[in-house]
Chain A
Amino acid sequence: MDAGVFLFGLFFLLLLVNVPIVVAIGIPSLVFLWQFNLGIQVTAANIYANIGKFPLLAIPFFILAGFVMDRVGLSRGLVNLLSLVIGPIRGGLGLVAVAGCVLFGAISGTGPADTAAIGTIMIPAMVKRGYHVGFAAALVAAAATTDVLIPPSVAFVVYGVITEASIPRLFAAGVIPGLLMGVALVIPVLWMARTRGWGGEPWGTWGEIGRAAWEAKWGLMAPVVILGGIYGGIFTPTEAAVVAVAYGLFYGAVIAKNLNLGVLYEVLRDAAVATSVVMIVVAFAGLFSWTGSTMGVMDRVTKSLLGLTQNPLIILLLLNVMLIIAGMLLDAISIYYVFLPIFMPLMKQFSWDPVWFGVMMTVNLAIGTITPPVAVNLYVASNISKTPMAEVSRWVLPFFFALVVALLLVTYIPALSLWLPDALGVR
Chain B
Amino acid sequence: MRRFVEHAEEGFLVFLMAVMTVVAFVNVVTRYFIRFALAFTEEIVVSLFVWLTLLGTAIAFRQGAHLGFSFIVERAPKAMQRVSIWFAAALSVTLFGFLIYFGIGQIKSERMLGTTSESLAIPQWWYTAGIPVIGLLIIARIIEGAIVADRKVRV
Give the interface of A toward B (CB within 8 A): 14-24, 26-27, 30, 40-45, 47-48, 51-54, 56-57, 60-61, 64, 234-235, 238-239, 242-243, 245-246, 265, 268-269, 271-273, 275-277, 279-281, 283-284, 329, 331, 372-374, 376
Given contacts A27-B95, A30-B98, A277-B65, contact A238 B88 (CB under 8 A): no
Q: Which 3 A-B pairs give the minimum distances between C-beta atoms? A: A276-B56, A373-B71, A20-B66
A373 touches B94 (CB 8 A): no
A18 touches B16 (CB 8 A): no
A17 touches B56 (CB 8 A): no
A16 touches B69 (CB 8 A): yes
Query: Which of chain A's residues have a CB closer than 8 A to the CB of B68?
Result: 15, 18-21, 24, 374
B139 at the interface (CB under 8 A from A): no
B122 at the interface (CB under 8 A from A): no
- Cβ contacts A to B, 8 pairs, < 8 Å: A16-B72, A18-B72, A19-B87, A246-B25, A272-B52, A277-B56, A280-B66, A331-B67
**Distance (whole angstroms) from the CB of A68 to the closest CB of chain B:** 10
B32 at the interface (CB under 8 A from A): yes
A235 to B28: give the CA distance in the assembly, Å. 8
Which chain B residue shows the least CB distance to A52?
B46
**Distance (whole angstroms) from the CB of B48 to the closest CB of chain A:** 10
Count B interface residues, CB 8 Å.
54
Given contacts A277-B65, A277-B67, A279-B53, contact A20 B59 (CB under 8 A): no
Query: Which of chain A's residues have a CB closer than 8 A to the CB of B8?
Result: none
Q: B94-115 CB contact bits vs A (8 Å, 1 = yes)? A: 1100110011011000000000
A269 touches B14 (CB 8 A): yes
A53 to B43: give the CA distance in the assembly, Å. 10
A73 to B138: give the CA distance in the assembly, Å. 34
A21 to B103: give the CA distance in the assembly, Å. 22
Query: Which of chain B's residues have a CB closer than 8 A to the CB of A15?
Result: 68-69
Query: Which of chain B's residues have a CB closer than 8 A to the CB of A19?
Result: 68, 87-88, 91-92
B13 touches A376 (CB 8 A): no
A340 to B8: give the CA distance in the assembly, Å. 38
Chain B CB within 10 A, most for which of A30, A235, A239, A273? A273
A374 touches B69 (CB 8 A): yes
A312 to B32: give the CA distance in the assembly, Å. 46
Kindly identify, within residues 12 to 29 of chain B, every residue whose CB is under 8 Å from any CB belonging to chain A: 13-14, 16-18, 20-21, 24-25, 27-28
B72 touches A47 (CB 8 A): no
B84 touches A18 (CB 8 A): yes
**Distance (whole angstroms) from the CB of A226 to the closest CB of chain B:** 13
Query: Which of chain B's residues have a CB closer than 8 A to the CB of A376?
Result: 67
B99 touches A22 (CB 8 A): no
